[in-house]
Amino acid sequence: MGFEFNSYSAILLLPFSQAVLFGMLLICKTGDRFKLSNLLLGVILLLIGVRIAYWMLGFAGWYDSHDAFTSFMFYFPFNTTCLIGPLIYFYFLSATNQDFRFEKKHSYHLLLPILWLVIIVGKIALDYMLYFPFPKTLNSQFGTKGPLAEVDKTLLFTLVSYGSLTYYLVLTYKLFGAYRQYAIENLSSLENLDFAWLRNILLAMGSGLILMFTYQIINWINPLTYKAEWYSYMLLGILVYYLGIKGYMFQGSNKPALYFTNGLQVEDGQSNEAKGFPDLARRMKELDQLLDQRKPYLIADLTLSQLASMMGLNSSILSRVINMGHNLNFNDFINAYRIREVISRIDNQQHKKVTLLGIALDSGFNSKATFNRAFKKQTGKTPLEYIKNLESQRKLVSNYDLER
């Protein structure tokens, strides 16, 4: 039995091939700090490809060939939904923390995948040890399966699988919120952080979950034809194209070193009362002196840990100094100093010799968009509006002096 090409199997072959191609490209990609997240995303793509292969091979004639190919359709673990959730969770952790490693505390996330593996191996072993050769009846698909062949396609197994994926998507989305806060509190520049991709992968997987589960519910209520269900796998194939292309681009982009760990901000969440930090005034003075004298804010990719090291403090204490003393997060605090630097240079007429972008880059900003956004937030005006207003004031002063 070969592969029977028709409009249904051939169309699904395209996203299946895409899943295998990008999955292997990511798995084999080495030499950068995203090696682990590359591996995990590659495995996710392969597992989605396995899901698509189930319907693709069915329409390619394997299900109705009544031979070893049909047995393969019953015993190969095509239902990989319960594996994808933990992988998405670990992908997010490894993509946002270059030092992430699997630890003992993560072991409970492997319980369901291990149970899944036991069920898959168990059904094959028991059926072939106890019931093989299978009787050639309609119930055994003409001698190609035993009574346990479809245990991983039961209602309970399906509900647990979709429940697991839902749980991990919600868990990871909560982590995404904590990650955004981490970035604001620890990085002075957010320009190279792709928040959109990490959010969109969750939305894309959530959409895929809703799509497949909706088809599943409809099928339970009113059994669908194979051709009707085929459309859900075709739409799942579109998801593969998005995850494959965007995921590979994300891993290849230039991103700052990240060390996000869930719960990092717990210490920073202590009481904001000044009496809980008796050294606050002294620390604020030391911080202001450091910024005025050494101007570390001119470093475009300055991080909280780098600034804390310059002061001889740990990151959590410095974060409290900034939060409690200035009522700002780290990102806004550093950008405020950068804006002051820009304004100082404009006041000294440097904008007539150097472009505004040049001044912004020299002041620690790494892009025009970030500079314009920070300037507007700090002053209430765009850079050009500020310069026009400054020139108008100088003209008025000049005219007043002449009249005197």
Q: Which two tokens stand for residue 234?
A: 């075709």
Summarize the confidence of residues 136-143 as an average pLDDT. Answer: 88
Confidence of residue 317 (pLDDT cuts 50, 70, 90): confident
For the cut 60, the answer to whether the pLDDT of residue 270 exceeds it is no
Q: What is the pTM of this model?
A: 0.78
Summarize the confidence of residues 51-76 as an average pLDDT. Answer: 92
**Integer Cα distance of 169 and 90 in angstroms:** 11
Residue 255: its pLDDT value, please? 53
Summarize the confidence of residues 364-389 as an average pLDDT. Answer: 88
Q: How far is CA 123 from CA 74, 110, 114, 149, 300, in A?
A: 10, 20, 14, 6, 58
The residues facing 97 across adjacent strands are: 259
For the cut 70, the answer to whether the pLDDT of residue 333 exceeds it is yes
The answer to whether 167 and 111 are in contact (CB under 8 A) is: no
Taking residue 249's Cβ as centre, other Cβ atoms within 10 Å add up to: 11
More confident residue, 258 or 7: 7
* pLDDT tens per residue, range 319-332: 888 888 888 888 88
**CATH classification of 7-252, choosing from 3.40.1130, 1.20.1070, 1.10.287, 1.10.3470?**
1.20.1070
Q: Which residues of 300-313 are buried (b: 16+ CB within 10 A; e: fewer)?
A: bebbbeebbeebeb
* pLDDT tens per residue, range 210-239: 888 898 899 889 988 888 999 999 999 999
Task: Tell me which residue of 145, 117, 113 sits closest to 131, measured CA to CA.
Answer: 145
| List of long-range contacts for 169-177, beta carbons under 8 Å, 24+ apart | 169/85, 169/88, 169/202, 169/205, 169/206, 169/209, 171/89, 172/88, 172/89, 172/92, 172/202, 173/202, 175/89, 175/92, 175/93, 175/262, 176/92, 176/202
